[in-house]
Amino acid sequence: MRTAIIFYSRTGATRTVATALASALDADIGEIRCPRYRTGPLRYLIAGYNSVKGNLPSIEGPSVDPAEYDLVVIGTPVWTSHPSLPVRAYLATKPQLPRRIALVVTHGGHSPAETAIAELTALLPAPPVGTLALQNDRIVKEDPSDHINAFARTLMNESVTGS
Ligand SMILES: Cc1cc2nc3c(=O)[nH]c(=O)nc-3n(C[C@H](O)[C@H](O)[C@H](O)COP(=O)(O)O)c2cc1C
């Protein structure tokens, strides 16, 4: 089963999870980049403002075509309770997604990930086959390997039983 992980990360947490998951699943990886929101406190505020307003930015990438895969994992941080604007912008391009999609969402712990997961789910061709929500501290201050490897096993089992 061909698997791709398509993600956006502003400060590295979602990238850490996406990279480890790609390794566990032997998946290809494609990053969405968004120069407008590169690091810095002012960019953080602008990102938050635009996220609330739903102002979608220009994005670059990802370098993988989801149509070529059986399973695509979409990774995003939570921004103002929504999926990050670069991922919302990517999905607004209506990429040709397979029916098997999984979600990875990282968040700061000050609003539940469920709202962003529900918003993403509404944009998918079918309900996600799995979701992993991880708080930022768990990624940057602890070792998230157990969570990531358990999620990878769930997705691998799903690919056996879900076809
Ligand atoms: C503009 C902006 C808005 C955010 N809004 C939320 C939020 O509503 N709830 C939350 O728990 N975390 C929020 N966060 C924190 C990020 O979701 C969290 O730090 C995430 O792990 C960052 O992922 P990254 O390092 O891959 O960019 C926000 C971060 C940014 C930059």
CA of 163 to the centre of ligand 1 (A): 34
In the chain, the N- to C-terminal Cα span, in Å, equals 10
CB 58 within 8 A of CB 87: no
d(CA 84, CA 8): 8
Distance of CA 77 to the CA centre of its chain: 7
Q: Which atom number of ligand 1 is nearest to the Cα of residue 48?
A: 1
Per-residue pLDDT reduced to its tens digit, 109-162: 998 899 999 999 999 989 999 999 999 999 999 999 999 999 999 999 876 665
pLDDT given for residue 163 in this prediction: 47
pLDDT given for residue 111 in this prediction: 85
CA of 78 to the centre of ligand 1 (A): 5
CA of 94 to the centre of ligand 1 (A): 24
pLDDT given for residue 162 in this prediction: 55
Using CB distances shorter than 6 Å, the residues near ligand 1 are 9-15, 44, 47-48, 51, 77-81, 106-111, 136
Q: Which atom number of ligand 1 is nearest to the Cα of residue 11?
A: 25
**Confidence band for 64, pLDDT divided at 50, 70 and 90:** very high
Per-residue pLDDT reduced to its tens digit, 99-112: 999 999 999 999 88
Phi–psi pair at 60, nearest 5 degrees: -120, 140
d(CA 133, CA 124): 17
Three-state SS string across the chain, please?
A: CCEEEEEECCCCHHHHHHHHHHHHHCCEEEEEECHHHCCCHHHHHHHHHHHHHCCCCCCECCCCCHHHCCEEEEEEEEECCEECHHHHHHHHCCCCCCCEEEEEEEECCCCCCHHHHHHHHHCCCCCCCEEEEEEHHHHHCCCCHHHHHHHHHHHHHHHHHCC
Per-residue pLDDT reduced to its tens digit, 4-40: 999 999 999 999 999 999 999 999 999 999 999 988 8
Contacts of residue 79, Cβ cutoff 8 Å, sequence gap at least 6: 47, 48, 51, 85
Q: Which of 11, 78, 142 to mutate to test the pocket of ligand 1 (most atoms within 8 A of CB)?
A: 78
